[in-house]
Structure 1
Amino acid sequence: MTTRSLAVVCGAVLSSFLLASASVSAADNSPWVTTWATALQPIPQISNPPALYRAPDVAGRTLRQIVYPTLSGDVARIHISNAYGKAPLVIEELRIARSGAGAAVQVGTEARVTFSGKLAVSVPPGGEIDSDPVRVAISAGMPYAVSSFMGREQKLIAWHRVSSQVNYLSMPGNHAGDASADAYRQRITQFAWVTGVQVEAPSSSTIAAIGDSITDGMRSSLNENRRWPDALARRVAQSGDKSVAVVNLGISGNRLLTDSPCYGDALASRFGRDVLAQPGVKAAILLIGINDINFAAMPAHGGLDCDAPHTQVTADGLVAGYKRVIAAAHARGVRVFGATLTPAALPPQREAIRAEVNQWIRTSRAFDGVVDFDAALRDPADPTRLRRSFDSGDQIHPSDAGYSAMADAIPLLGAAKK
């Protein structure tokens, strides 16, 4: 694909015109569009987990989560997931309000959320549910607090572990309606249960960013929304397009082909649930594969081995996985844009796989377009490594500046016309 044609295709991703031109599916009749989302992963259920995998006590407490919608609307609904649950998920009361400082909310902005007209809901194991529509002013780019008072026996067994956002857990009791932060004494950096916020916006569309820790925003600044999908959402808004949302469905440690006890289902398996089931999604940007390449070489650990199974992969195996994702997306009328794997200072054998995969992404025309994150981040003096100013310090994850450069590598429609 030439540079010119790449610019045209990738620029068009950000226009509602091209997004709306994707093949029509049954879901296109829905007025709902996803404005914020996250993907869940199971918490390893072992007797003595490492500190990173110890779930907080949520029973009979209120969890207040801070989310940043990327599309405005006057009517919203909340999507609740009990994926990986072994028992019903019980929420006694749920509210949404404009977030204030820390765990506080702005007085007069809160709205109760109901389910079939009732305040409480019980979601069966493995089930999901949308709330009733609630009239609340959602403004793109502004923070909202979603407060859920949990059942007396509720346990947290699934989460989105790397939220890059401080959320708040209360003392025992129902504090969903509290405007002040006084009851919220515990801070956590995970999301749980609330996996989507949707708005009524029938002429709008969503771009889903999906991948591993580099999409998840690992090592980006806490509470500052400096992941590359955040930067992309800001660029879209600044371009004047108010009809396109960008949601982040990355999971740190995720692989394309292999499930993990810590890092969630393989992306090729979770793509349907996490992307295609999101209302309003018309395009996806896919960045995945570096963990498939790396984890085979990681040493095995006793007890909890998050990198297991240590499966050896080839470029051909990764390509086959990409083709599965593309086929699933096209069957639902969703366009998929393949992102090249970014530099990770790999030893020669693993670097050769990365280079072969990137060559296929760039030249195969299997994707609807290509986003060349590798070219945007690599050091011109050593293309196997991140440019120093784009390196967070571990030679794998970008800095805030690097994540911004990734968003800048996706041309806007105006740039594509030049």
Structure 2
Amino acid sequence: MTAPAPGPASAVAPAARRALRRAATALLAAALVTACASCTGGPAPARSDDGPWRGAWAASPQPPSAGNWSVRGFADHTLRQAVRLTAGGTGVRIELSNRYGTTPLRIAGATVARPAQGGAVRPGSVRALTFRSRPAATIPPGGTLLSDGLPMTVRPFESLTVTLRPAGPTGPATVHQDAAATGYRAAGDHRDDVSGGAFTETGTSWYYLTGVEVTGGPDAHRRDGVVAFGDSLTDGHGSRTDADHRYPDLLAERLAALGRPRAVLNHGISGNKVVRPGGATGEKALDRFQPDVLAERGIGTVLVLEGVNDIGGRLHADVGVEELIAGHRALVRQARARGLRTVGATLLPFKGSAYDTPENEAQRDAFNTWMRTSGTYDAVVDLDRALADPADPDRLLPAYDSGDHLHPGDAGYRAMAEAVDPGAL
């Protein structure tokens, strides 16, 4: 049957239908973005880069461990934690994690503010956060939660204070152990305490807070952030508390000074290993790479420095260099499958440290030779040569050594940041 020739009305109808479909699609997309901005659920899902949000600060979650407040968790407490951003914008939101919680985590409320001295915040800067337009939220065991976006202008290298009021008792808490930053705890509800007088307890771990994202501003659509992924050498162990002298912090400062600013997100965990689970030191790198790195928004490069604990860790010294290399190849495959550029780093000298044995040194040398020559990574940063003592290349230069002959101090972390070629990123 031949269709009748379309008249004026039927000629307009297809265009109208297309316009209606486009409008409906736009409304649906907006609804999905709003709904997913603070979704809860199981382990952190991969997040697409088609939205306006991008990472400005990050910390990898770890299981509860002795030596901080995480084993007992929190009952009638308020937590106050300050973090320094490496990207700016006109809106902020936070990410909370209950990855290692065994019960739902209930948050009675949360605020952000601009920090003052100690546990105090600047008067007039306290802003309440919401979660799906509500002040309270519940995060299931294993889940993550994004707050709603809050209009707030922040600059690169500005600090934010996040105050959390868990609706306790929480049970054991998800933590980032080695924060190299002072956090505060108060008994009772002190979300709006400006003076900080109630925050009389201090520690150097972060709890539940695993990310701060920004949106808007002149860099709104940049997708060139860098994730520094690794162990204590990335986490900043040995750097001065509250100085922000971890090498990823100093790398972000250097890039900005060169007129090539990028967000640099720190996903180091002290004690972490590539191919062996580490208990309190977090899941092995092969397992945490997806939820910690690939779930980040706005990144284009991952810089990997990890393996010294696989080689030197006393409980898992059975890891051979070939197994470690295979682990790195797997990390590169994961990153490239998401379109990320990969930069690898050689392992630093450790002569005189607890890891120093002839067998371990031979494995470090073999791994570094592979890193320099294999072409597995898109680029290589030779931190071994940058921090070695020229008079004894298996040892850290004394000026860079924190004192344990394994971890750099502030000067060493600066040397690490300066060893990174911006072009490699």
Correspondence 1:179 to 2:189:
no
Aligned letter for 1:193?
Y
Deviation at 1:110, TM superposition (A): 2.0
Return the alpha-carbon distance in structure 2 between the equivalents of residues 407 and 88 of structure 1: 40
Deviation at 1:281, TM superposition (A): 1.6
Q: Give the corresponding residue for 1:190.
A: 205
Q: 5+ residue gaps in structure 1? A: 1-24, 299-307
Aligned letter for 1:169?
R
Deviation at 1:179, TM superposition (A): 1.0
Correspondence 1:239 to 2:258:
yes
Q: Give the corresponding residue for 1:339.
A: 345
Q: Give the corresponding residue for 1:7.
A: none
Q: Give the corresponding residue for 2:55.
A: 34
Instruction: Describe the superposition over 1:84-122 as per-residue Cα deviations: whole angstroms up to 9, x where unpaired.
Output: 111011111011111111111111222211111000010
Aligned letter for 1:213?
S
Q: Give the corresponding residue for 2:274.
A: 256
TM-score, normalised relative to structure 1 = 0.86
Distance change >3 Å, CA 203–CA 261, structure 1 → 2: closer
Return the alpha-carbon distance in structure 1 between the equivalents of residues 68 and 154 of structure 2: 33
Deviation at 1:412, TM superposition (A): 3.1
Return the alpha-carbon distance in structure 1 between the equivalents of residues 413 and 162 of structure 2: 27
Return the alpha-carbon distance in structure 2 between the equivalents of residues 343 and 240 of structure 1: 32
Return the alpha-carbon distance in structure 2 between the equivalents of residues 26 and 58 of structure 1: 30
Match of 1:364 among 358, 374, 384: 374
Deviation at 1:56, TM superposition (A): 5.8
Return the alpha-carbon distance in structure 1 between the equivalents of residues 326 and 302 of structure 2: 18
Are the equivalent residues in 2 in contact too, given 1:58–1:169 (CA < 8 A)?
no
Aligned letter for 1:123?
I
Correspondences of 1:47-196 after superposition (within 5 Å): 51=67, 55=71, 57-172=73-188, 174-196=189-211
Secondary structure at the counterpart of residue 99 of structure 2 = coil
Are the equivalent residues in 2 in contact too, given 1:229–1:248 (CA < 8 A)?
yes
Structure of greater Rg: 2
Return the alpha-carbon distance in structure 2 between the equivalents of residues 95 and 52 of structure 1: 23
Deviation at 1:203, TM superposition (A): 2.4
Deviation at 1:52, TM superposition (A): 5.7
Are the equivalent residues in 2 in contact too, given 1:60–1:154 (CA < 8 A)?
no
Q: 5+ residue gaps in structure 2? A: 1-45
Secondary structure at the counterpart of residue 170 of structure 1 = strand
Are the equivalent residues in 1 in contact too, given 2:80–2:185 (CA < 8 A)?
yes
Deviation at 1:283, TM superposition (A): 0.6
Aligned letter for 2:298?
G
Q: How many residues align?
A: 371
Aligned letter for 2:157?
G
Aligned letter for 2:105?
L
Are the equivalent residues in 1 in contact too, given 2:223–2:300 (CA < 8 A)?
no
Deviation at 1:324, TM superposition (A): 0.7
Are the equivalent residues in 1 in contact too, given 2:73–2:173 (CA < 8 A)?
no
Deviation at 1:55, TM superposition (A): 3.8
Q: Give the corresponding residue for 1:13.
A: none
Return the alpha-carbon distance in structure 1 between the equivalents of residues 304 and 281 of structure 2: 17
Are the equivalent residues in 2 in contact too, given 1:111–1:136 (CA < 8 A)?
no
Distance change >3 Å, CA 31–CA 120, structure 1 → 2: same
Return the alpha-carbon distance in structure 2 between the equivalents of residues 175 and 163 of structure 1: 22
| Structure ranking higher on relative contact order (CA contacts 8 Å, 6+ apart) | 1
Aligned letter for 1:351?
E
Identity %: 38
Return the alpha-carbon distance in structure 2 between the equivalents of residues 26 and 256 of structure 1: 23
TM-score, normalised relative to structure 2 = 0.84
Instruction: Describe the superposition over 1:378-408 as per-residue Cα deviations: whole angstroms up to 9, x where unpaired.
Output: 1111111101111111100001100000000
Q: Give the corresponding residue for 2:228.
A: 209
Distance change >3 Å, CA 54–CA 412, structure 1 → 2: closer
Instruction: Describe the superposition over 1:239-286 as per-residue Cα deviations: whole angstroms up to 9, x where unpaired.
Output: 2234x1001110000000111222110011101111110111211110
Distance change >3 Å, CA 102–CA 156, structure 1 → 2: farther
Return the alpha-carbon distance in structure 1 between the equivalents of residues 252 and 99 of structure 2: 27
Secondary structure at the counterpart of residue 67 of structure 1 = strand
Distance change >3 Å, CA 164–CA 58, structure 1 → 2: same
Deviation at 1:162, TM superposition (A): 0.5
Q: Give the corresponding residue for 1:221.
A: 240
Secondary structure at the counterpart of residue 262 of structure 1 = helix
Correspondence 1:349 to 2:351:
no
Deviation at 1:54, TM superposition (A): 6.3
Return the alpha-carbon distance in structure 2 between the equivalents of residues 258 and 232 of structure 1: 28
Return the alpha-carbon distance in structure 2 between the equivalents of residues 52 and 93 of structure 1: 23
Aligned letter for 2:225?
T
Deviation at 1:185, TM superposition (A): 0.7
Are the equivalent residues in 2 in contact too, given 1:293–1:350 (CA < 8 A)?
yes
Are the equivalent residues in 1 in contact too, given 2:348–2:387 (CA < 8 A)?
yes
Instruction: Describe the superposition over 1:160-184 as per-residue Cα deviations: whole angstroms up to 9, x where unpaired.
Output: 1000000101122x21111111110
Secondary structure at the counterpart of residue 177 of structure 1 = coil
Return the alpha-carbon distance in structure 1 between the equivalents of residues 70 and 422 of structure 2: 42
Are the equivalent residues in 1 in contact too, given 2:273–2:284 (CA < 8 A)?
yes
Deviation at 1:198, TM superposition (A): 0.4
Q: Give the corresponding residue for 1:16.
A: none
Farther-moved stretch of structure 1 (103-112 vs 283-292): 103-112
Distance change >3 Å, CA 128–CA 288, structure 1 → 2: same
Return the alpha-carbon distance in structure 1 between the equivalents of residues 175 and 92 of structure 2: 23
Q: Give the corresponding residue for 2:417.
A: 407
Secondary structure at the counterpart of residue 168 of structure 1 = strand
Q: Give the corresponding residue for 2:383.
A: 373
Farther-moved stretch of structure 1 (52-61 vs 209-218): 52-61
Secondary structure at the counterpart of residue 28 of structure 1 = coil
